Amino acid sequence: MKELKAYYRAVERLREIFLEKYFDEDPDFYWVGDQIGGVLFVNDFFFSVENIIVCLKLKIKSEDLFSWYDYIIDQAMVGKIPISLGNWMKLQGEIPFDKKKKYTLDTRIKKLDEE
């Protein structure tokens, strides 16, 4: 089916761009379970295709991506559900956020910890 071929080509191109932007030359990578467009393993990190798209669409800086990744691992280790990459960037003030609900990351995390 030509639509699937086009999808796979597009996803593989996104993968190439993502790897070039966020990783050194020749990273170790594969699609988990050989499911192109699912979860990408790269050098001991795992990224959904959704997060790859968010990174490229919002032009997220490498340091912000890996800060978020550290945060989600820390949250998972204590049994908490972390926020999405897009919401993390909103809380960092890196992308537009509803001005009526602007929180800093520290105040939002503190509020979540109190719940």
Q: Cβ-count burial of 22 within 10 angstroms (0-12 exposed, 13-18 middle, 19+ buried)?
A: buried
Residue found under tokens 């990174």: 55
Whole-number Å distance between alpha carbons of 105 and 110 = 8
Q: Give 77-86 pLDDT, tens digit per residue.
A: 999 988 999 8
Whole-number Å distance between alpha carbons of 88 and 72 = 10
Same domain (yes/no): 68, 87? yes
Whole-number Å distance between alpha carbons of 74 and 40 = 20
Same domain (yes/no): 9, 50? yes
pTM for the structure as a whole? 0.77
Q: Give 31-62 pLDDT, tens digit per residue.
A: 999 999 999 999 999 999 999 999 999 999 99
Whole-number Å distance between alpha carbons of 90 and 75 = 18
Same domain (yes/no): 2, 49? yes
